[in-house]
């Protein structure tokens, strides 16, 4: 394992027997035996002239087999059950599918929510900021270009470094966001006489105005004031795969029933982040080391 980790950490370099032995704290006889066995099986390659070693082609097949094994999605239901049990809150796991995100598992679902109706949200600012916080600039720019209103661009971009700093995102409560992301169990009905409001999921014709309203509301809470209180919708943190990509996002949802103190929000953020980090570790994922996206 020490030899494989050394070569994997330096994929463009080749190492001599002496270098491998020294770096892996092995005597030369042991290192030679290991390198010979790994080379015979195609796990390592030995350059015929330089006598240096590098990773071999058989690892490609091994890596592909590993990718077909358990993923973060497989562990999500059990992880959400534990998170909801610890917090008493509705928890959900989202995965990215094209230009949108979909709920693939949830726990402690509220009684009025249709858990059989999968939520699908478009990746339009500020929605999807947890994914974008660890994405490369082209993906961030494509995300910003899909905005329903130009007013969402600046606040959404400015929130990304804060999300990376904290490890989680906090979204303020919004009636429009609630309608977009919370499928009600009851069938859609006509507007009530007293309120003029309808119930259930937004129709396609209603989605665009909802997204525009959400974009104007500065929903991403960048700095949580411990002494203040906020009405928030959810707290979400990313789970990373072995390549450092966001495999899924875990969120505590339905938090807009009461105002929460800043300390309570931070505590929820710490719990969600710890859960996401544990799942990242379970699937041998890694948090990417990327430079912050310049908000300007």
Q: Which fold has domain 2-67?
A: Arc Repressor Mutant, subunit A (1.10.10)
Q: Do domains 2-67 and 72-282 have the same CATH topology?
A: no
Q: What's the rounded mean pLDDT across residues 190-199?
A: 41
Task: Give mean pLDDT, residues 113-127.
Answer: 88
Contact yes or no for 51/16 (Cβ under 8 A)? yes
Task: Return the higher-pLDDT residue of 206 and 127.
Answer: 127
**pLDDT for 208:** 87
- pLDDT attached to residue 25: 94
- Mean pLDDT across 262-283: 95
What band does 275 get if pLDDT is binned at 50, 70 and 90?
Answer: very high
The larger pLDDT score, comparing residue 163 to residue 257, is at 163
3-state secondary structure (DSSP) of residue 235: strand
**Positions of E strands within the chain:** 44-46, 53-55, 90-97, 100-107, 120-122, 169-172, 229-230, 232-240, 246-253, 260-261
Please state the domain extents for the chain: 2-67, 72-282
β-sheet bridge partners, residue 113: 184
Tell me if 180 sits within 8 A of 214, measured CB to CB: yes
- Residue predicted with more confidence, 114 or 195: 114
pLDDT at residue 189, as a whole number: 44
**pTM of this structure:** 0.74
Over range 265-270, report the average pLDDT. 96
Domain with residues 72-282, CATH architecture: 2-Layer Sandwich (3.30)
């Amino acid at each position: 394992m020490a030899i494989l980790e050394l070569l994997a950490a330096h994929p463009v370099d080749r190492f001599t027997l002496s270098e491998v032995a020294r770096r892996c704290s092995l005597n030369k006889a042991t290192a030679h035996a290991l390198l010979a066995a790994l080379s015979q099986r195609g796990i390592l390659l030995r350059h015929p002239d330089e006598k240096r070693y590098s990773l071999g082609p058989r690892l490609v097949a091994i890596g592909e087999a590993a990718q077909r094994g358990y993923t973060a999605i497989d562990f999500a239901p059990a992880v959400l059950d534990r998170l909801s049990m610890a917090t008493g809150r509705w928890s959900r796991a989202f995965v990215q599918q094209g230009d949108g995100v979909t709920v693939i598992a949830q726990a402690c679902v509220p009684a009025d929510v249709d858990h059989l109706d999968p939520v699908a949200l478009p990746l339009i600012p500020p929605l999807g900021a947890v994914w974008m916080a660890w994405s490369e600039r082209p993906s961030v720019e494509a995300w910003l270009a899909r905005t329903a209103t130009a007013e969402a661009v600046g606040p959404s971009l400015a929130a990304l470094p804060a999300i990376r700093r904290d490890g989680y995102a906090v979204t303020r409560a919004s009636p429009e966001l609630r309608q977009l992301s919370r499928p009600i169990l009851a069938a859609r009905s006509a507007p009530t006489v007293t309120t003029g409001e309808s119930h259930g999921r937004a129709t396609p014709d209603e989605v665009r105005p909802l997204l525009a309203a959400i974009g104007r509301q500065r929903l991403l809470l960048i700095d949580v004031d411990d002494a203040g209180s906020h009405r928030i919708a959810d707290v979400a943190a990313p789970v990373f795969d072995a390549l450092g990509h966001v495999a899924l996002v875990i969120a505590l949802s339905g938090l807009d029933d009461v105002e929460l103190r800043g300390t309570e929000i931070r505590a929820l953020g710490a719990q969600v982040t710890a859960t996401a980090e544990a799942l990242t570790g379970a699937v041998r994922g890694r948090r990417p080391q990327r430079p912050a996206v310049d908000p300007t």
